[in-house]
């Protein structure tokens, strides 16, 4: 394994993808990109990253942003606690470090929303520390290199990998080595049909030698997703639409949503719900079915678009323009607006 950096770094320097967060080593930029990339594809993040930095170009701007504006910038990325933790950390950096991102691993790790992986990435890429950033890509790469026979989602397995990788970090090229490992997992050592023939480290890879790459990494059995049925209401009154805030804790905490209830209501029951809310329904315009999958929950949803003649103070009423530019709706609900040719 000692030869790994010498094999990997020239390949990375020659073939690394041109990504906007690789243009510099500014900690704010690296931090933002790593948080955005959690649970999200690179191509989906690219435009969000550029737009976010145009709106909030530095840590002071992030710390001072109004929460609704911040969540609107994040709309569609999901896992909105990431955005809230970004702002909490920015405020802490302003208070404790005068707006300067800390350069010590332990201080980075202590910031809200920053785990071992993100701290390792920032510390190595921005400050040249030998701190591995072990995400799913790197777990897969290293498990194949060593044919590791323990599930990689066991904490002790991951800790072992981190220790062994830390010992391989080359002085003066720690950031490049971190990014090279990530890149290898993203474009060559992919989950299915890895491109072993093109791999720059195949000569030191045990899985490549034994043709066992697709057998690794080993993982614990997955827990099944819980299924929930929901009825969603698109109440439409005079060009305004009913929305409400979710509870301040739990899934999608504190975000705006279309009114909804557990279970699947019939069209008649949906109209009765509008009546009970004092909305005076005029017409049931459309019934739409959609499924949305969270990490551990699947929502099977039916949405009823109901035109009403009366508004009620139970809800906040927003125009199309406000829903587009002001209120952040999670994808689970916004997709119904899009389905109505909104």
Catalytic residues: 34
* Structure tokens, 44: 């989906």
Using CA atoms, how far apart are residues 246 and 84, in angstroms rounded to an integer?
15
Q: How many CB atoms lie within 10 A of CB 171?
A: 7
Q: Cis peptide leading into 217, omega within 30 of 0?
A: yes
CA angle 293, 297, 298 (to 5 degrees): 45
Q: Which of 135, 181, 192 is nearest to 11 (CA)?
A: 181
In angstroms, what CA-CA distances link 152 with 137, 155, 161, 221? 11, 8, 9, 12
* Structure tokens, 63: 């710390």
Q: How many CB atoms lie within 10 A of CB 111?
A: 22
* Structure tokens, 163: 């220790």
Using CA atoms, how far apart are residues 61 and 66, in angstroms rounded to an integer?
10
Using CA atoms, how far apart are residues 304 and 301, in angstroms rounded to an integer?
10
């Amino acid at each position: 394994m000692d030869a790994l950096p010498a094999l990997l770094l020239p390949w990375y320097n020659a073939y690394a993808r041109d990504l906007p967060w690789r243009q510099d080593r500014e900690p704010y930029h690296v931090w933002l990109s790593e948080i955005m990339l959690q649970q999200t594809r690179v191509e989906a993040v690219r435009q969000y990253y550029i737009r976010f930095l145009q709106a909030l170009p530095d840590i002071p701007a992030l710390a001072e942003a109004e929460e609704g504006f911040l969540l609107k910038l994040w709309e569609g990325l999901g896992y909105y606690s990431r955005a809230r933790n970004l702002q909490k950390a920015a405020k802490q950096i302003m208070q404790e470090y005068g707006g300067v991102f800390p350069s010590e691993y332990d201080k980075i790790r202590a910031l809200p929303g920053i785990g071992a992986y993100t701290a390792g990435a920032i510390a190595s890429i921005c400050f040249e520390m030998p701190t591995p950033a072990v995400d799913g890509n790197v777990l897969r790469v290293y498990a194949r290199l060593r044919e590791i026979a323990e599930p990689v989602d066991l904490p002790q397995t991951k800790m072992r990998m981190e220790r062994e990788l830390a010992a391989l970090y080359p002085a003066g090229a720690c950031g490049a080595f971190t990014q090279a490992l990530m890149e290898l997992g993203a474009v060559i050592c992919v989950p299915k049909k890895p491109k072993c023939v093109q791999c720059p480290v195949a000569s030191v890879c045990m899985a490549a030698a034994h043709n066992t790459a697709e057998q690794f990494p080993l993982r614990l059995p997955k827990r099944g997703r819980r299924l929930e049925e929901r009825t969603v209401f698109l109440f439409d009154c005079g060009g305004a639409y009913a929305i409400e805030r979710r509870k301040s804790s739990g899934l999608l905490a504190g975000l705006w949503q279309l009114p909804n209830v557990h279970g699947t209501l019939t069209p008649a029951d949906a109209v009765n719900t509008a009546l009970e809310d004092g909305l005076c329904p005029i017409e049931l315009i459309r019934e739409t079915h959609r499924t949305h999958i969270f990490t551990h929950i699947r929502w099977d949803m039916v949405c009823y678009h109901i035109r009403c003649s009366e508004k009620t103070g139970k809800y906040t009423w927003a125009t199309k323009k406000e829903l587009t530019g002001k209120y952040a709706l999670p994808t689970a609900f916004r997709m119904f607006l899009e389905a109505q040719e909104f």
